[in-house]
Structure 1
Amino acid sequence: MQNKISYIKRAVRSLKTGCIFCVLLTLTACTGEDINIETVKETEAVPEEMTSEETTRNDPGTIYVYVCGAVENEGVYELSSDSRVTDALDMAGGYREDAFRGYVNLAEKLSDGQRIYIPTEQEVEKNEIVISTGTGDDASKDDNGLIDINKADKEALTTLSGIGDSRAEDIIAYRESSGGFGTIEDIKNVSGIGEATFDRIKDRITVN
């Protein structure tokens, strides 16, 4: 009995296929046109990984900078790698009321790990901070804006907190007589520069 049922099912399927074929032949004969049977493929979805990779390639990246001094909120901030000093200053809440404006170049492009210090008006008045004209100290700085005490001229050295004209001359005289500084800590060997002064300038100096 089971074999008969299977035989009947196969016969029905064969009959259906034959009918469909006959209909197609009839239509072709009547219209004189070819009938194309196309197989429609599903549109392949774009893998999420590709979209993610494209987003990563377009991402300019992030950097971290330290904003301190006369700002509303000192701290380390994360910004995009194409940011400027003005963007970092905004992140820190802007200038305090006692801040000396104009000490930093707001249009300067930031670099990862950069330290941005905003002095107070009192520091400038006491000559603890000397405003640079921007014409002679660029060669004394490295890529992070740190002052190389082995190369800095008098003008560049006097931009450091607590370093006036006389102390800058002492630094230059010491490095010329000793063959240069091996580490930034060696600057404490210069007469008049103790721990207090060193603590104020250590994050702004380097040796190369």
Structure 2
Amino acid sequence: MCGCADRETELLLEEEQEELSAQAEETADKEQEKDLASPEEAVTEKPSSVPAQPPEEIYVDVCGAVVQPGVYAMKSDSRVFQAIEAAGGFLPDAAGTSINQACALSDGQQIYVPTKEEAEKGMAGQPSGGAADPGTGGAVTEAAGTGETQDSGTVNLNTADSAALQTLPGIGEAKAQAILAYREEKGGFSGTEELMNVPGIKESTFSKIKDKIAVE
């Protein structure tokens, strides 16, 4: 009996030792895995890709010798030639080579395309992109004494010729001739608002140029 009891005790002790040994090995394995793991890998997550923002929309005023002068909405990364395309392209008498068509656009920019005659007279817009000087509102200022433009950059409706009138936003050759015909018929303008009496010139057109014209 004693022999059997001793054998049973030995088996229990062996099982207990094996269990303790297995627990120790498992603990050691976990510690080893923890030591091998990189701290950066544990906390660093792959940054999420941020989609590129689409170009913002800007507004530019295209006037002069183009098919459809006016204000156009363009993407902020657009160029001058794209604004001219949006305005229907050049008129046959446009001096397209006198402006930098590769220049980048900016919000509020005015692009004046001169005619070949104007370019020969030195009436082209500024070399940088063909954009008119914001301080002059886009009117071409000629030498003092011509009576076509004022020192402030405004156009005198009673003395300006067709070319000077076409420097105004929304005034093409046809509207310029209509202004000259009205002026000749009426003997001149008594005020700038009288311009709306000219056929083809509505309030929307007048509102764009009212700060760029004068009557003297």
Q: TM-score, normalised by structure 1?
A: 0.42
Which protein is bigger by CA-based radius of gyration?
Answer: 2
